[in-house]
Structure 1
Amino acid sequence: MIHDFNKKLINKHDLAVGAFYFYKNHIISEIKEGIILTFENCTDLFELIDSYYGTTIPFVYISNRKNSYSFVPTGHFKSTKLFPNFIGYGVVAYDAINSKVATLEQSFLENETKIFDNLDEAILWVDQLIKPLI
């Protein structure tokens, strides 16, 4: 089954760290090649998340790992405190290395997490998480 991703797209934002696709209850990120992602260089992203979801609309973040980049995983501790409505974190990993990195990331999050090998499965998972809450 192929999911029509653009049908529900609210807006796309190109930020210094990557592209972010905002939907009703989820975000898909595509971080730029070679970026070092930190809590501090995500302030623009946090402002956008707040403008779309505030602290009450439930949402899921999907990291679509098309590119190679690094991040400081302890930033998850700070960012999840900003959004009590953040309910899940999915990673679409296209190779074994990114899958291992995603497994490590899971230990830094208390939210529901899952690793996928394609974006369509990740979107279906979002629907499963969101449906009971709306």
Structure 2
Amino acid sequence: MRLLLILVLLLAALPARADDEYDACLNDADASMQDMGACGAEWIDREDARLNEMWQALLDELPEASEEMLREEQRAWLAYRDKTCLFYLDAVEYGQVGRYLSYPSCRAFVIAQRTEALGEIRESVAPI
């Protein structure tokens, strides 16, 4: 019963950060954690695709002399991304809810933040 209450509370908190496809996927999931985890993996993949599109758009507009600095920054961010949200995978503390709901939500949010930051860089360097 406690797990169900936690799940309901967590799902109620997710839509503010989730995308519509993730919400629809969760609604269609058969309430198994694995299905919900698959929804999260798809959300992460969508955010990665958005990030990659923004990255390429930024590189297309960035002066060539600045590309290496941006690449170094991106490598540092990738290391950060790979370390974030891992505490949700601690089965003792967070169990299946952490692994299948909290971790994907956290990871997708971190990627979305980077996409937004790259978009802001792009706006600042775009030709007028």
Both structures adopt the same fold (TM-score exceeding 0.5):
no
If you compute each CA radius of gyration, which structure gives the higher value, 1 or 2?
A: 2
Per chain length, whose mean CA-contact separation is higher, i.e. which structure has more relative contact order (CA < 8 Å, sep 6+)?
A: 2
Structure having the larger proportion of residues in strand: 1
Structure having the larger proportion of residues in helix: 2
TM-score (norm. length: structure 1): 0.26
TM-score (norm. length: structure 2): 0.27
